[in-house]
Amino acid sequence: MSTLDQKINQYFAGLVVRKDLVKTVKGNAIVPSYVLEYLLGQYCATNDEPTIQAGIATVKEILAKHYVHRNESGLIRSIIKEKGRHKVIDRISVSLNESTDAYEAEFANLGIKNVLVDSATVKKHPKLLVSGVWCLADVEYFYSEDKNASPWIMGTIKPIQLSSFDMESFLAARKQFSTDEWIDLLIQSMGFNPDMFGKRSKLIHLVRLIPFCERNYNLVELGPKGTGKSHIYSEFSPHCILNSEITVAKLFVHNGTGKLGLVGYWDVVGLDEFAGKQKRFDKVLVDTMKTYMANKSFSRGVEPLGAEASMVFIGNTQHTVPHMLKHADLFDPLPTVFHDSAFLDRIHSYVPGWEVDIIRGEMFSDGYGFVVDYIAEILRSLRSQDFSDRYKQHFTLSPDISTRDLDGINKTFSGLMKIVYPEGAASKEEIEVLLRYAMEGRKRVKDQLMRIDTTYDAVNFTYKDNAGKKFSVKTLEEIEYPDNYYRYIANPADEAGHNENASTDINFTPMKVGKVYVEELTEQHLSFQENQRDVSFDALFGKYFKGAKEITLTDAYIRLFYQVRNLMELLETVAKFKGKEDEVKFHLITKEDEFKGLQQRENLEKIKETAASVGIQFSWEYDATGTIHARHIMTDHGWKILLDRGIDIFQQYDMNDAFAFVNRLQQYRQCKAFEVTYIKNQ
């Protein structure tokens, strides 16, 4: 186990499970992950391998005996008839039969209806009345001569969710983890390998959890297919329902029967496949949603009703970000009836789904994470807390920010604080990171509103610290595509001003790379934000390499395959910018890999051989002193380029996919946060 996994098992013994076990036991069972993890939590919440293997066998046996596959429903019904009683794992929904004045259950996979349920069970588990709940249930069979009587009777049931937890123990254990460790634990709990994501990407994933811990939180995420937008809302919590059917009766209330809709029973209602400009919706639905999202209430006839469900709108984009910014706006994929400023103004935060990489197999975790029903209950209990004022002891927001903007910022900040710092305490620097992201999420909404409705005034999303220093907040797409971003925004000069007082880890001067190269060789310092695209070695170094006869790269981390591949791509830049008739000497100073030194040497030899064919004399040496730490490039015509990350500036991507543009062209990859400084040697 990793050091983090050992620590997780030490402080959360019995409450965590190895995340790869879900795939091991799932097989062909079409069942949410939280159902499987509930069972794994009963038998495999340990780091003892023999116990885990025994637990897996037990869980598989339970699934084999009690989980109902639709194609085996006839066999299970026969078993119930012959035995008189049998325990099943199934999704159960209940409705009231007015003609018989009795509650009747329907088992989704078992395929039986009109199963008698006593009133006490319905009162104890009201969610059974809406869309159904996964349960462990005893089903009995008793045949009667009465043709109107159902032979099926539901005995005891147990919803698949945690019955109790100790918040004080949870908070005490949280204090044993650093911020980075805690975030990695949460990412592993969501099923992902934290090593595959940068800090900003991890934060984007955590924003998806805010609806679980923040009441009446309205979140939208639009992005490409396959980025896991709906996964968290279908698999993570028994308190969330993901639905693609959107009607007033389904969501709010059926005026004919008086039956309460999803928002009355669930903590989070996710609306999947929400995008699609041609989709048609009833205007009454739109108006009801506007009222609910603004006032937390809706009407049943003349009677107003309140609810606490958070709303999540999920949809796929059809165009790239620059295309949407040039021709429309970032809400363009939404149905026409919802492409309405009054509706969109009620969105608290916009998750940039285009920054989330398409999910690949290596992104899933085999480390330990919380059993999801445990963390789901923790997040649910935090809904009663309010951390929205925790930044006010350090920072003051601009008075230009409107009430709705402030509400969105505060709710997003409060949610992130609950998730990352559930004890409510954090340093000024830690608070600033969350505050900036909360402001960015709401700014993304507001900037698009100014495109859609010209009556909205431009807002400066700025804040001050106690020393009076002013900081500005920008969205990443604002920095990447300024020509298109400001096209329809009033007073763009106010929005485009760069603030040099902000700390370098979150505020930066963008370099317009890929399309515009450095026209003049000057001394300068450039910073890039995580997930930024349109970055390439050609744009960063090409002009500085032109005319050089000798180039030296000092980088201790040219060891693993992807690092050596980065080196090869740097040499490609050298080849592009040298004269065809010229030869360039390129020397590498690095360290020998302790475990894969032979492979490292073989790869460098291959580069030496192929580089010679294009006029590059490649050589390398291993630093024997073991003292090199700083990474930089030196040229013989007077330039020194300081690299805080060396040439390892790109996030991981699928290097085996020959047909992926990110594999072929650097400017389509997402980069890590990094800085480059160009110095002219006298």
The SS3 assignment for 529 reads coil
The SS3 assignment for 523 reads coil
Measured at the CA of 259, the angle between CA 256 and CA 265, to 5 degrees, comes to: 155
Query: Hey, what are 365's tokens?
Result: 């975790």
**Average pLDDT for residues 184-198, to the nearest whole number?**
95
**Average pLDDT for residues 175-195, to the nearest whole number?**
96
Q: What is the pLDDT of residue 497?
A: 42
The SS3 assignment for 280 reads coil
Q: What is the pLDDT of residue 592?
A: 92
CB 481 within 8 A of CB 321: yes
* pLDDT for 519 beyond 80: no
Torsion of CA 320, 322, 328, 334, to 10 degrees: 30
pLDDT digits 0-9 by tens, 619-641: 999 987 777 778 999 999 999 99
Helix axes 597-612, 561-577, angle to 10 degrees: 20
Sequence-separated (6 or more) residues with CB below 8 Å from residue 553 = 567, 570, 586, 587, 588, 589, 632, 633, 647
Q: What is the pLDDT of residue 498?
A: 39
Determine the Cα–Cα distance for residues 229 and 44; give it in Å rounded to an integer.
Answer: 28
* pLDDT for 150 beyond 80: yes
**Average pLDDT for residues 95-116, to the nearest whole number?**
90
pLDDT digits 0-9 by tens, 551-595: 999 999 999 999 999 999 999 999 999 999 999 999 999 999 988
Query: Hey, what are 508's tokens?
Result: 């930066």
Report which listed range, 124-128, 240-244, 438-442, is most confident: 438-442
Query: Hey, what are 440's tokens?
Result: 């960015």
**Average pLDDT for residues 12-40, to the nearest whole number?**
85
**Average pLDDT for residues 258-274, to the nearest whole number?**
91
Burial class (CB in 10 A: 0-12, 13-18, 19+), 455: exposed
Determine the Cα–Cα distance for residues 437 and 177; give it in Å rounded to an integer.
Answer: 22
* pLDDT for 388 beyond 50: yes
Tell me the CA end-to-end span of the chain in Å, nearest whole number.
52
- What is the number of alpha carbons within 13 Å of residue 522 lying toward its C-beta? 7
Share of the chain above pLDDT 70, in %: 94
* pLDDT for 302 beyond 90: no
Q: How are beta strands 310-316 and 268-271 bridged, if at all? A: parallel
Identify the bridge partners of residue 462 per DSSP, sorted by sequence position.
Answer: 472
Q: What is the pLDDT of residue 682?
A: 67
Q: What is the mean pLDDT of the chain?
A: 89
- Tokens 């990695």 found at: 184
Query: Hey, what are 252's tokens?
Result: 């709010």
> What class has domain 70-159?
mainly beta
Where is pLDDT greater, at 641 or 166? 641
If one counts every other C-beta atom within 10 angstroms of the C-beta of residue 363, the result is 17
Q: What is the pLDDT of residue 256?
A: 74
Q: How are beta strands 550-554 and 524-528 bridged, if at all? A: unpaired
- What is the number of alpha carbons within 13 Å of residue 580 lying toward its C-beta? 0
Q: What is the pLDDT of residue 634?
A: 96
Determine the Cα–Cα distance for residues 111 and 543; give it in Å rounded to an integer.
Answer: 69
The SS3 assignment for 337 reads helix
Determine the Cα–Cα distance for residues 391 and 432; give it in Å rounded to an integer.
Answer: 8
Confidence of residue 93 (pLDDT cuts 50, 70, 90): very high
Confidence of residue 148 (pLDDT cuts 50, 70, 90): confident
* pLDDT for 34 beyond 60: yes
**Average pLDDT for residues 168-181, to the nearest whole number?**
97
* pLDDT for 501 beyond 60: no
Confidence of residue 493 (pLDDT cuts 50, 70, 90): very low
Confidence of residue 476 (pLDDT cuts 50, 70, 90): very high
DSSP 8-state code for residue 511: -
DSSP 8-state code for residue 67: B
Q: What is the pLDDT of residue 163?
A: 62
Sequence-separated (6 or more) residues with CB below 8 Å from residue 594 = none
CB 213 within 8 A of CB 415: yes
Sequence-separated (6 or more) residues with CB below 8 Å from residue 57 = none
* pLDDT for 515 beyond 60: no
The SS3 assignment for 16 reads strand
Q: What is the pLDDT of residue 607?
A: 97
Q: What is the pLDDT of residue 502?
A: 36
**Average pLDDT for residues 396-403, to the nearest whole number?**
95
Strand ranges in 494-638 using DSSP code E only, listed in sequence order: 524-528, 550-554, 584-590, 616-622, 631-635
Longest dimension (CA), the chain: 103
By C-alpha distance, which of 380, 63, 46, 359 is closest to 229? Answer: 359
Burial class (CB in 10 A: 0-12, 13-18, 19+), 286: middle
* pLDDT for 341 beyond 50: yes
Q: Where exactly are the structural domains of the chain?
A: 70-159, 387-496, 524-680
Q: What is the pLDDT of residue 7?
A: 96
Provide the CATH number for the domain formed by 524-680 in this structure: 3.30.870.30
* pLDDT for 508 beyond 70: no
Confidence of residue 164 (pLDDT cuts 50, 70, 90): low
CB 538 within 8 A of CB 573: yes
* pLDDT for 277 beyond 60: yes
pLDDT digits 0-9 by tens, 46-88: 888 899 999 999 999 988 889 988 888 999 999 999 999 999 9
The SS3 assignment for 262 reads helix
Confidence of residue 669 (pLDDT cuts 50, 70, 90): very high
* pLDDT for 514 beyond 80: no
Phi, psi for residue 463 in degrees, rounded to 5? -150, 160
CB 367 within 8 A of CB 17: no
Confidence of residue 158 (pLDDT cuts 50, 70, 90): confident
**Average pLDDT for residues 231-239, to the nearest whole number?**
88
β-sheet with 470-472: strand ranges across: 395-397, 462-465, 470-472
Sequence-separated (6 or more) residues with CB below 8 Å from residue 424 = 385, 387, 390, 417
By C-alpha distance, which of 365, 414, 433, 474 is closest to 19? Answer: 365
Confidence of residue 42 (pLDDT cuts 50, 70, 90): confident
